[in-house]
Amino acid sequence: MLEVSDIKKSYRRKNVLEHISFRADCGECVAIVGRNGCGKTTLMQILSGVIRPDEGGLRYFGKDPLSKMKYFQKFCGYVPQELPLMEELSVKDNLRLWGVRGRKEDQELIREFQLEELMYTTVSKLSGGMKRRLSIACALADWPPILLLDEPSTALDLYSKENIRGLIKKYCEMDGIVVMTTHDEKEILSSDRCLLMNEGRLRELTKEEMDIDDIKGMLA
């Protein structure tokens, strides 16, 4: 279980996040929507341990990652918007940097993400969809129970978007927790819950409010 309690963050006296609280259970996909610059990426960076909140708390399966950084590594896989790949290295070398080696579960991960035939391909030669897929595979190196995705389908073609949605669905079916920021309509509608961020505050939308036209109206 992931629990976020009263998170606050400000930059240069500007409040970016105010009283952010929510929870996500095993098997859930939670989508966070909001206009650009509303604080979604800042929240994802806090959830992944990249930056610390000014106030508030986190609990990952009962553990406090803010007290011990190793809990972020143990419980979270994070894929930021700017993909953390070494472009000049091969797919295999990038996977090894993240801890994917020769274990049975590693081979299953490589097959699941259809990377077998690309292992010796330089990352710079991959399509955007394949780079995104590789980044998610790297984030799942140790099969953490929480996967954090910041705009996972940005700039991808329709096939790649569908592929990413399928991977997210399968991960949740394995009792994983997915928290993602997104502007993609299908990702929003396929999520279990949708949280709207506006002016640094977060509120959960009801099923009736999870209509794309209504969401667009809220963000206008």
What pLDDT, on the 0 to 100 scale, is given for residue 94? 95
| pLDDT tens by residue, 90-114 | 999 999 998 887 788 888 888 888 8
Indicate the pTM of the whole model. 0.91
What pLDDT, on the 0 to 100 scale, is given for residue 44? 97
Asked if 135 and 127 touch (Cβ cutoff 8 Å), the reply is no
What pLDDT, on the 0 to 100 scale, is given for residue 102? 73
| DSSP annotation string for 28-43 | -EEEEE--TTSSHHHH
Domain 2-215: state its class. Answer: alpha beta
What pLDDT, on the 0 to 100 scale, is given for residue 214? 67
Give the contacts of 197 (CB within 8 A, at least 6 positions apart).
32, 33, 34, 38, 39, 40, 43
| Average pLDDT score over residue span 154-183 | 90
What percent of the chain is modeled with pLDDT above 70?
A: 96
Q: How confident is the model at residue 195 (pLDDT cuts 50, 70, 90)?
A: very high
Residue 155 pLDDT greater than 80, yes or no: no
Secondary structure letter of residue 63 according to DSSP: B
Residue 83 pLDDT greater than 90, yes or no: no
| Average pLDDT score over residue span 163-175 | 91
Secondary structure letter of residue 16 according to DSSP: E
Separation between Cα atoms, residue 68 and residue 175, nearest integer Å: 24
For the chain, which residues make up each domain, given as ranges?
2-215
Asked if 139 and 77 touch (Cβ cutoff 8 Å), the reply is yes
